[in-house]
Amino acid sequence: MDERRVRARELGIEIGSLTPGPLNAITDVAGVEVGQTTVNWGEPDLPRGAGPARTGVTVIWPQRDISGEAAVAAGFFALSGTGEMTARSEMEELGQITTPIVLTNTMNVGIGYDACCRYLVQRGLEGVTIPVVAECDDSWLHDAAGFHLTHEHVYAALDNARGGPVEEGCVGSGTGMILYGYKGGIGTSSRLVEAAGQQYTVGVLVMTNFGRHRRLTIAGVPVGKRLPHPRLAKPESEAEGSCIVVVATDAPLDGRQLARVAKRAGLGLGRTGSTGGNGSGELLMAFSTTYRLDWSGGLQAKPMLQGDAIDNIFEGTVDATEEAVLNALFMATTTVGRAGHRIEAIPLDAVRELL
C-alpha cells in the first residue's frame, strides 16, 4: 500500500524564498478556475482497443467568458517541441488566447478541440474561436488505441471548474502520466511577488510526463542517483516524455512579456532534472488575467510592468514551476495499467531520509 501522499511543503521542502499564495495553487490568481475529469477503469489484461483507460482531461479557465469577444494576453515558448499545443500561433502572432486551456493525452487532442468548440457554441459563442489544447503521451499505462475520452468528459471538466484547492497527482489528464520513472500527473504551486510597488500572484499548473530517473533532483539533492530504479518502470531509453506548463498571473504583462515568463518556466523544469530531450514535448505558456484585449479595439489593463520590475515575476515562475513538479510527483499513487505495466509512486520516506 502506498504511503500517505503529501505535498512538498508537508515534507519540509521549501523552494526559493518567496511566499506561496494561500492555496499554493494556480487558483490563487483571482478568477482562474480548474476542472478535471478522471477516466480510470478496466483491468490491465483487456485486449487492445477495449481498455484499460488511465487518462482524463484537465481544463483551466483564465476567465469565465463564453462570448469569445475578449481575450487575455498570453505568450508561448517551446523548450522542446516534440509535442502539440494548439493556438500557439495565435499566442506568437497576436499575444492572446480566447478560450479555456484543455490538457489531455496525445491521441485525443482532436476530441479536446472539438468538444471545447462545441461547448462554447452551445453556450452562446458567436463566430469562431481557436481553443488551446495541449497533450502528453500516456500510452504506457493507457489504452490509447481505444479512444476512451469522450466529449462528455471534456464538457464535465469545463462545467465543474472552480476556484479553490486543486486536486493533484493521478487525476484528470495526469491519470496515466509518468515522472522520472515514478508515477506523475498534475501539480500546482504559486508565489506572491512584489513588482513596481504592487503585490501580484504567479500561479503554475503542470502536466508532468518526463524525465530520466537518474536525473531526478529535489531541492538541489540528486535523489535519482541515490534511489533504486523503480521496479517495472518504463525503460530509461523511452523515458523522455513531455510536460505542459501553464503559468497564470494577475501582473499587467502583454504577450511579448508573457512569452519571456513562459520561457523561465523551463528553468524550473531544469532544476528538477529535465534536459528537454529530443523526444520530449516540453511546451510552456503564460497568460495574464489583468492585461485583457477587447476585439473592438479597447484595452482593459493597468500600465504594463517595465524593465527590471518583471524580475520578481520571473523568480516566482521558476520557483512555482519547480514546486509544482514536486507536488505532482509526491501526490501521485502507484498505478497499474495497460498490459500490466506498473508505475510506482516515489517512496516519500526514502526521499525524506535523503533530504
Domains identified in the chain and CATH numbers: 18-42+49-294+303-346 (3.60.70.12)
Catalytic residue among 90, 282, 315, 323: 282
d(CA 66, CA 167): 25
Could you read off the pLDDT of 36-62 as tens digits, one per residue?
Answer: 999 999 999 999 999 999 999 999 999
* Catalytic residue check, 280: yes
Output DSSP code: residue 237.
G
Residue with cell 499548473: 205
Output DSSP code: residue 221.
B
Residue 279: per-residue pLDDT: 85
Residue 3: per-residue pLDDT: 79
Closest Cα to residue 210, out of 232, 189, 182, 187? 182
d(CA 160, CA 100): 13
Strand partners, 37: 57
Residue with cell 523551463: 266
Catalytic residue among 173, 242, 274, 288: 242
Half-sphere exposure in the Cβ direction for 199 (13 Å, CA): 9
Residue 298: per-residue pLDDT: 53
236 phi-psi bin (left φ>0, alpha ψ -120 to 50, beta other): alpha
Cβ 52 vs Cβ 168: under 8 Å: no
Which residue blocks in the chain are alpha helix, DSSP H? 88-94, 109-122, 151-160, 223-226, 255-272, 311-331, 348-354
* Catalytic residue check, 240: no
Residue 47: per-residue pLDDT: 97
Residue 228: per-residue pLDDT: 87
Residue 218: per-residue pLDDT: 98
- What CA dihedral angle connects 250, 252, 255 and 258, to 10 degrees? -60
Q: Tell me the pairing of strands 132-136 and 101-105.
A: parallel
- Phi then psi for residue 147, to 5 deg, are 45, 60
Residue 72: per-residue pLDDT: 92
Catalytic residue among 240, 280, 315, 323: 280
Cα angle value 98/103/106 (rounded, 5°): 120
Closest Cα to residue 106, out of 140, 79, 77? 140
Its pTM stands at 0.96
Residue 232: per-residue pLDDT: 63
The three-class DSSP label of residue 250 is: coil
Closest Cα to residue 88, out of 130, 127, 136? 130
pLDDT beneath 70, residues of the chain:
1-2, 67-69, 232-233, 236-240, 292-302
